[in-house]
Chains A and B, each alone.
Chain A
């Protein structure tokens, strides 16, 4: 069971790094305290993982044929990739990393399912687009409804306060549902865990990351989004949540960071079209390319090292 440890570590780092996109706005705008935010996030991540997590397990688990050691190596490679790219300041996605690692093993063993991989890559490309479309539509529709039905300043203030909390909880739920497969999907494929156990352990590891180490990222991400007014910040998080939820129903784990980037662009487009920058697009593109490639290379190195260490081939 020690082989599960790399996945749990990956889950913990996912929880520590990605929950800033969920409640960063709420904490930075002072609507909720950090303490309340992390407990709400942890609770809804776990709920999302248990209720929606199985939907993505199938895709991740059947992308390649994995042995138990391969599963351990994939999760470890993904965790190392995330750490290195974060250290280098490049955007990194857990789903890209784990899929890259699994595909790396699959290419080497000849068991990779390229049809599924193609479907996953298409969804990755559509993630920021989906965030943009959801955010643009929500911003327009909700803005119209609020102007029509809620002109009062104090009532709007109340709605924004409640809305930021609800959208944060929904985003946490969607994050749990979409990301738990990244963390423990490989162990389902390797036959080490059942789907229910995988969603439970994965959800708990992500929740622990949120509870223990998300403060710094939550505050820095929140400040990045805070220059938006409360309504736009609420819409951006809601659009991110809807995007993750959509792709969870399609059974494909996607990047929450790219979903929120797309959502922010969508919100910006409603007011000012100059929010789309070449730098942002380049960073997204680099993230798409570097993360799975790096994870694939690292997992092969790990497996080669293990092979060399034991003196016999590890996989067939």
Chain B
């Protein structure tokens, strides 16, 4: 009975790891889709982002079910679930930003920088995937965590420039202004949440040493 528990548990753990990888890979695809849609002004492509977010929700529920069905030591489960939830927060922020972008036309003065931020967000997601794989292998996370922080710092610097330029742009109404503000806010907040996800991985790594 105890041996059976171990073998089934090991399969569940592999399934959880596979699920989390798939979740992050989908996030990377969503970020890339967002970037390409924003660059080309392709609204149809932008509408794919909320669909991907829903798919991400399904994967997330599956992962959490598997975790609490018996994968990993109970000591580790809350940390793993926390990580999965933070990745889902990135998805949610990306989806909201995509929705806001559908309500506005991004001004030409800001488009270039916004695309640059979207590109950096995509790179951060890829780095998050590498960091997760490194955590599972038990290797040192410092370099990858540092890379994520560097990207986040770059985005923070671009954000200052974007907000400065945004103040010079006239808006036709309060709601247009608000939509633009929410879009810019969401776009620059994605990197903060990805950084939080990297910190969660660091906690998981340290807790098992």
Q: Is B one of A's binding partners? A: yes
B168: CB under 8 A from chain A? no
Q: Restricting to A194-247, which residues have a CB under 8 Å from any CB of B?
A: 229-231
Q: How many A-B contacts are there with CB distance less than 8 Å?
A: 54
Residues of the B chain whose Cβ atoms lie less than 8 Å from the Cβ of A30: 73-74
Contact residue range for chain A? 20 to 34
Beta-carbon contact of A161 and B137 below 8 Å: no
Contact with B along A150-190 (1 / 0, CB 8 A): 11111011101110010000000000000000000000000
Contact residue range for chain B? 20 to 34
Whole-angstrom distance from the CB of A133 to the nearest CB of chain B? 22
Beta-carbon contact of A157 and B2 below 8 Å: no
Binds A, one of B6-14, B37-45, B106-114: B6-14
Beta-carbon contact of B1 and A36 below 8 Å: yes
CA A150 to CA B137, docked complex, whole Å: 9
A138: CB under 8 A from chain B? no
Beta-carbon contact of B136 and A154 below 8 Å: yes
Question: Given A31-B73, A154-B14, A157-B76, are A229 and B208 neighbors across the interface (CB < 8 Å)?
Answer: yes
User: Residue on A with the closest CB to B140?
Assistant: A151
User: Residue on B with the closest CB to A31?
Assistant: B73
Beta-carbon contact of A157 and B1 below 8 Å: no
Residues of the A chain whose Cβ atoms lie less than 8 Å from the Cβ of B74: 29-31
A193: CB under 8 A from chain B? no
Q: Restricting to A16-42, which residues have a CB under 8 Å from any CB of B?
A: 29-32, 36
CA A147 to CA B209, docked complex, whole Å: 8
Whole-angstrom distance from the CB of B19 to the nearest CB of chain A? 14
Q: Restricting to B173-203, which residues have a CB under 8 Å from any CB of A?
A: none
Beta-carbon contact of A230 and B2 below 8 Å: no
Contact with A along B69-86 (1 / 0, CB 8 A): 000111110000000000
Residues of the A chain whose Cβ atoms lie less than 8 Å from the Cβ of B209: 143, 147, 231
Question: Given A30-B73, A161-B9, A230-B75, are A153 and B136 neighbors across the interface (CB < 8 Å)?
Answer: yes
Beta-carbon contact of B204 and A153 below 8 Å: yes
CA A289 to CA B51, docked complex, whole Å: 71
User: Residue on B with the closest CB to A160?
Assistant: B73
User: Residue on B with the closest CB to A36?
Assistant: B2
Residues of the A chain whose Cβ atoms lie less than 8 Å from the Cβ of B138: 150-153, 156
CA A228 to CA B14, docked complex, whole Å: 26
Residues of the A chain whose Cβ atoms lie less than 8 Å from the Cβ of B72: 157
CA A154 to CA B2, docked complex, whole Å: 18
Question: Given A151-B137, A165-B2, are A156 and B75 neighbors across the interface (CB < 8 Å)?
Answer: no
Whole-angstrom distance from the CB of B115 to the nearest CB of chain A? 36
B29: CB under 8 A from chain A? no
Residues of the B chain whose Cβ atoms lie less than 8 Å from the Cβ of A143: 209
Q: Restricting to B109-139, which residues have a CB under 8 Å from any CB of A?
A: 135-139
Beta-carbon contact of A157 and B208 below 8 Å: yes
Whole-angstrom distance from the CB of A206 to the nearest CB of chain B? 22
CA A231 to CA B73, docked complex, whole Å: 11
CA A154 to CA B136, docked complex, whole Å: 7
Beta-carbon contact of A152 and B73 below 8 Å: no
Question: Given A29-B74, A29-B75, A230-B73, are A154 and B13 neighbors across the interface (CB < 8 Å)?
Answer: yes
CA A31 to CA B76, docked complex, whole Å: 12
Question: Given A29-B73, A29-B75, A161-B9, are A156 and B208 neighbors across the interface (CB < 8 Å)?
Answer: yes
CA A36 to CA B10, docked complex, whole Å: 19
Question: Given A147-B209, A152-B138, are A158 and B204 neighbors across the interface (CB < 8 Å)?
Answer: no
**A residues apposed to B, CB below 8 Å:** 29-32, 36, 143, 147, 150-154, 156-158, 160-162, 165, 229-231
15 residue pairs bridging A and B, Cβ less than 8 Å apart: A29-B75, A30-B73, A31-B73, A150-B138, A151-B138, A152-B137, A153-B135, A154-B10, A154-B14, A157-B72, A160-B73, A161-B73, A162-B6, A229-B208, A231-B209
Which 9 pairs show the lowest CB-CB distances between chains A and B?
A: A151-B138, A30-B74, A152-B138, A154-B13, A153-B136, A230-B75, A230-B73, A156-B208, A29-B74
